[in-house]
Structure 1
């Protein structure tokens, strides 16, 4: 995703003011199970999908507007410039399935270009955020059937049957979210999508390999919004899991691992400390981290090879003039 010293002023509003509540005995949520398992592992880590509660989703929307964060505006530029060509590949009366839909901003460029799109199925793990965004979209596109699905799109799920008269069922996966997966996970997701979209296709946005300085700036913004986004994971654990993370005791760190072609994002313990989660205590040494996200970068050819392995046929590719970002049409 996205200066270790910058986040504290912005993130301070996320710190809980009250004493942590007593541990409850309610069944573990998926987030609770993942956090407990992640803290018990060496090295410690947790999936980036848990960034996206309501507060996390709102912070990510702010990240997308930052001057340093080129991916969003670059991808939007590609979609706007090439919308007609993309629509010609997809065809009329399409059903659009968006994986990790978020605020439903980019899909508007696609919907505006398509010929009589039939239905839109946005899938996102943050149900409350998704419902609000879907209601706004429906108001702006009254002729479009909008059916939000609150779910983890990385897991097998059954989509509604195609509507009568619908054309291709097309997946939309913008934002280079594919880069958050480990290579084997990326392959598994694309295989899942190929099966789900059989007879249709996938439009996927992919961030490209580039100057490390540009990547570093994108994930260490001057305003500290990305740091607040990263630290919000701990705030969420305090609020939902009765944990007692001291947000001032951890800092955001993101760096580019050039040999692995990926940004790595971590939460770094600023001192020796202990964290309690439902009565279990986890000791941190100074400098010990919780790994929260990878953001792998691709070459055009590398993404295409991965797609072919997953069962897609390679179609058109669109890039910006600087070749910072790419949008791929893959046929299933």
Structure 2
């Protein structure tokens, strides 16, 4: 029976330090056993560059305008990614609480040989969304003569089959990194259904983050060191540069003409604070930029009003306990075959097989 994901009123914010889920809150589905792994050495992440361009990016301005025009303001993840943002996130990822990429790579190194045995030789590898190079390399190294991986968007047309149109004997899909965690349950089921239509009776390897410890989530998404806050606030600095004449220390001409009208006064990056929130049903961590006063934010030729305390959501990370994910996968036509947890239970890998 399919789960229905109904539109519900926004759930109450739960401050991370004040909510501690009980162990009984995440009940395992009886599809397949969860296999904890022993500790392994985890690779470190390299820092990126810090040389962003100052050119006005029309696509960026359009995306920001579209997100700020929503009834509940929210920016697409791509808006946060420039070279400065990549550098900040790489530096933040070195913190033990920002663990997913390194945990996934370490876990893949441990289980890739077993995956290769189950999948068989010469698999065609289809990667859904983006995948960290470290984890994907560990998987490809273990596979027996895999085809070069094909990167697929999460939506769009299915790739053309090889040869006479028949599916190859060994098909392996991979949905790694933060891909699954960036999707709400209904969207995740849609991606799993699309993968099922493409892979048929093939295999699908999915990484998910089951962490429900709110204290560690607080440290990861709103750390005292300020790197995650800087990562999210960077979108406002990028917007200021794209606007050209609205920088933190030089008000825009439009703002100067606003006089003493506080509601029309231009907002700069210094007028926002970064905030991390936990919300329930489904369990997720949201990051927001909150306006600390009323004013307007210029986006190209547009002016977007903000009320005092109004926020724009800049990120949303869903946490899927193993049993919860297995239920969603079963709804999408997949049979859970293996589930592995890293030694601390902070990351999980699921190997699925298309149902007959």
Q: TM-score range by the shorter chain?
A: 0.7 to 0.9
Corresponding residue number in structure 1 for 2:157: 157
Distance (Å, rounded) in 2 between the aligned partners of 1:229 and 1:299: 27
Residue from 82, 85, 96 that aligns with 2:125: 96
| The structure with more helix, counted as a fraction of residues | 1
Corresponding residue number in structure 2 for 1:3: none
| Matched residue SS, 2:121 | coil
Distance (Å, rounded) in 1 between the aligned partners of 2:146 and 2:245: 46
Q: How many Å apart are 1:290 and its aligned residue?
A: 0.3
Residue from 246, 253, 265 that aligns with 2:268: 246
Q: Matches of residues 263-274 of structure 1 in structure 2 within 5 Å?
A: 263-274=285-296
Corresponding residue number in structure 2 for 1:314: 336
Confirm whether residue 188 of structure 1 aligns to residue 190 of structure 2.
Answer: yes
| Matched residue SS, 1:119 | coil
Confirm whether residue 325 of structure 1 aligns to residue 347 of structure 2.
Answer: yes
Q: How many Å apart are 1:297 and its aligned residue?
A: 0.9
Corresponding residue number in structure 1 for 2:69: 40
Corresponding residue number in structure 1 for 2:81: 52
Corresponding residue number in structure 2 for 1:175: 177
Question: Please, what is the CA RMSD of the aligned residues?
Answer: 3.0
Distance (Å, rounded) in 2 between the aligned partners of 1:81 and 1:15: 37
| Residues 47-93 of structure 1 deviation map (CA, whole Å, 9 limit, x = unaligned) | 22433344434443333322221222222221122221122222211
Aligned pairs, number: 283
Confirm whether residue 297 of structure 1 aligns to residue 299 of structure 2.
Answer: no
| Cα pair distance change 1:320/1:314, threshold 3 Å | same
| Matched residue SS, 1:93 | coil
8 Å Cα contact 1:243/1:275 also seen in 2: no
When structure 1 is superposed on structure 2, of 71-80 and 48-57 the one drifting more is: 48-57
TM-score (norm 2): 0.70
Distance (Å, rounded) in 2 between the aligned partners of 1:243 and 1:317: 53
| Residues 122-154 of structure 1 deviation map (CA, whole Å, 9 limit, x = unaligned) | 35xxxxxxxxxxxxxxxxxxxxxxxxxxxxx23
| Matched residue SS, 1:98 | strand
Distance (Å, rounded) in 2 between the aligned partners of 1:162 and 1:188: 24
Distance (Å, rounded) in 1 between the aligned partners of 2:235 and 2:154: 20
Q: Structure 1: where are the runs of 5+ without partners?
A: 1-12, 124-152
8 Å Cα contact 1:205/1:325 also seen in 2: yes
| Matched residue SS, 1:330 | strand
| Matched residue SS, 1:282 | strand
Q: Structure 2: where are the runs of 5+ without partners?
A: 1-49, 247-266
| Matched residue SS, 1:122 | strand
| Residues 270-292 of structure 1 deviation map (CA, whole Å, 9 limit, x = unaligned) | 22221112322111123211012
| Matched residue SS, 1:208 | coil
Corresponding residue number in structure 1 for 2:236: 234
Distance (Å, rounded) in 2 between the aligned partners of 1:154 and 1:120: 15
- When Rg is computed on C-alpha atoms for both structures, the one with the higher figure is 2
8 Å Cα contact 1:219/1:226 also seen in 2: yes
Q: How many Å apart are 1:232 and its aligned residue?
A: 2.8
Corresponding residue number in structure 1 for 2:308: 286
Q: How many Å apart are 1:306 and its aligned residue?
A: 0.5
